[in-house]
Structure 1
Amino acid sequence: MNLRSGLVILVMVLIAAFSALNWSVLMAPTDLSLGFAPVKAPLGLIMLALIVALAAVFLIYIVVLQAGMMSESRRVAKELKAQRELADKAEASRFDELRQLHSADMQKLLDRIDQLDREMRSAIEANANGINATLGELDDRIQRAGTPRLMG
């Protein structure tokens, strides 16, 4: 229980105690004027009834205000949830887009690596053929010079 609720309950208890202690005075009939006619009634009881009526009006006001705040809170919570879902969907679509870009870049990179591999193999094969041709030419020269053959 918070401080305000405790204070309201304390005031209500004090009013009830005051009324109980002075019940005979509150019930004493008095001449009252309603503006259009005089009436004989207990003024204390009328004032006590007005206090109870005012408390009831304030209680109803508080309940209506609290209900409105709860309704507004639910509405804001729903909007917040919808915005969060929208943001999550946008983030997911950005991740999908990033994944697609990454896949495309990776495919380009793999294609380039394959191309470089083919070019390197071709260059190695050309160098091997050139070395073999040079060795064959040297072997032929050596054979023509009359020395035994190196390869073969």
Structure 2
Amino acid sequence: MNLRSLLLTLTVVAIAALAVLNWNALAMSVPMSLGLATVDAPLGVVMLALTALLAAFALAYVLWLQGSVLMETRRHGKEMQVQRELADKAEASRFTEMKAFLQTQSQQTHAALMERIETLESRLLARANESDNSTAAYWGQLENQLHLPRRVLE
């Protein structure tokens, strides 16, 4: 129990104890002025009733304030949940966009690599054909040179 609650409880207990111990004095009827008129009434009981009424109003105010704070906290919690969901959706959207961007980049890179490989392959085939043609030409020249001396001799 915190200090405020303890002080409030002690005050209520003290008022109740004084009222019980001094009930005869509180219940004694005395002339009481109401401003325009004077009436005979027990002043102690009237003051005790007004104190109880003030305590009831204070308690009602505290309960109303606590309720409004709880309602505000609940509303704030709901708003925070909505904002959290929006942030999650935005983050998921960014991840989706990033995934699409990376896939596009990957496809473009793959296409560029495939094009380059095809170009290199075609150049390699052309070079191999040139090499085959050159080798065949050299073989043909060698055969001609080998066959020429025999024809000349014949």
TM-score w.r.t. the length of structure 1 is 0.88
1:39 equivalent in structure 2: 39
Write the letter of the residue equivalent to 1:47: M
Residue aligned with 1:146, SS = helix
Q: 1:33, CA displacement in angstroms?
A: 1.1
1:91 equivalent in structure 2: 91
Write the letter of the residue equivalent to 1:116: R
Residue aligned with 1:40, SS = strand
Q: 1:144, CA displacement in angstroms?
A: 2.2
1:114 equivalent in structure 2: 114
Write the letter of the residue equivalent to 1:89: K
Cα distance in 2 for partners of 1:123, 1:141 equals 27
Write the letter of the residue equivalent to 2:73: S
1:74 equivalent in structure 2: 74
Cα distance in 1 for partners of 2:45, 2:31 equals 13
1:9 equivalent in structure 2: 9
Cα distance in 1 for partners of 2:75, 2:62 equals 20
Write the letter of the residue equivalent to 2:119: E
Q: 1:132, CA displacement in angstroms?
A: 1.2
Q: Which has the higher helix share?
A: 2
2:18 equivalent in structure 1: 18
Q: Which runs of 5+ in 2 are unaligned?
A: 148-154
Write the letter of the residue equivalent to 2:86: L
Residue aligned with 2:18, SS = helix
Runs of 4 or more consecutive aligned structure 1 residues displaced over 4 Å after TM superposition:
none
Q: Which runs of 5+ in 1 are unaligned?
A: 148-152
RMSD of aligned alpha carbons: 1.6
TM-score w.r.t. the length of structure 2 is 0.87
Write the letter of the residue equivalent to 1:127: R
Q: 1:79, CA displacement in angstroms?
A: 1.4
Q: 1:50, CA displacement in angstroms?
A: 1.0
What do residues 21-68 of structure 1 show as CA deviations (whole Å, max 9, x unaligned)?
222221222111112222112111111111111000000111111111
Aligned identity (percent) is 40
1:128 equivalent in structure 2: 128
Cα distance in 2 for partners of 1:105, 1:137 equals 47
Cα distance in 2 for partners of 1:130, 1:20 equals 124
Cα distance in 1 for partners of 2:43, 2:92 equals 73
Q: 1:125, CA displacement in angstroms?
A: 0.8
Cα distance in 1 for partners of 2:94, 2:84 equals 15
1:138 equivalent in structure 2: 138
1:27 equivalent in structure 2: 27
